[in-house]
A and B are shown apart, each in its own frame.
Chain A
Amino acid sequence: MIAIIGLLVGVAVGILWNPVVPLWLEPYLPIAIVAALDAVFGGFRALMEKRFDDRIFAVSFLSNVVIASVLVFLGDQLGVGAQMSTGVVVVLAMRIFANAAAIRRILFRA
């Protein structure tokens, strides 16, 4: 419940405040979102499996975002930024699908 409220407040703040993202941060924004979504799906799966722990969720959320951004930053420095961000997005998307499949199995037994 608190999660949904947080999400809605975040969206509202984003719309009302409409912050200007610094230019150097822009390439990492989509990566950070996908990484965070991965953590969210992982957390939801843990919730379904009744082993959710908010400390683990918080750590995985933040570390996912940081690691994904650092990887892309490193890729940019090495000159393979585009490939690296594609790779990170592909891997994270695969994990999201895997987690979604697990959630679906528990929710619908299908």
Chain B
Amino acid sequence: MKAEKLNPSVKMAVILVGAVALSFQYYITVNVTVFLGFMLMLVFFSNAKKKSILALLLPAFLAALGLFFMGLYYARGNSLSAESMESVSNLPYAVRAAASANLLTALQLATRLLAFAGMGIFFGLTTDGERLVFSLMHQCRLSPKFAYGTLAAVNLLPNMVKEYGQVRTAFEMRGIHVGPVSAKVIFTMLVNSIRWSESVAMAMESKGFCSEEPRTFHYVLHVKWYDILFAVIVLGAIIGGTLILTGIPGSI
């Protein structure tokens, strides 16, 4: 059983509902469990490469660290400045108590972000784009016009990156210095994008793509028993865990 076989729409719905459920609780235990659970699924039940997991985890950890320090210094109610944190042991008890309250907030925020990242990375590395769009068409009634339009646009991405390099080189050759997000470059690329959209639409329609007529599908994705099982386990763990911890006073 591999995570790649899960129905993409179900996977997406579980993650969206899970994210909303996580947003209304502050238990570090729940957040860490979600993060570790998804990472374990990724390592043991998917074909994701370790290297690509790390490549996505790194920015997630950086963002979590940023949120951690923001919570540590600027939590609402008992904020501490950076200077007063330097010699913690010399500080009076009240200040250290405030710091520990802040530490709790900081951990709550940072672990929640990691829980989101765990789910997001799991989805990203186990979901094929085409399968996602096909599944959105069959399970979520996305119209084929939007589905194939999205796919066509995404598949233009490599051309877009190449184009970006060419446009910048063209400006440099004429002695015009352009920054990485110069409006001149964006404008030139927008011009090309609109021309592409016209030619791609024309190409699709001339090859018989018609969005109004009923059509047949080569790939049809279905919801299977293991999709339901996945949804029950993940959402059960998040919602059940939150409810259990609410019943135990003093749990974090």
Q: Is B a genuine binding partner of A?
A: no
Residues of A within 8 A of B (CB): none
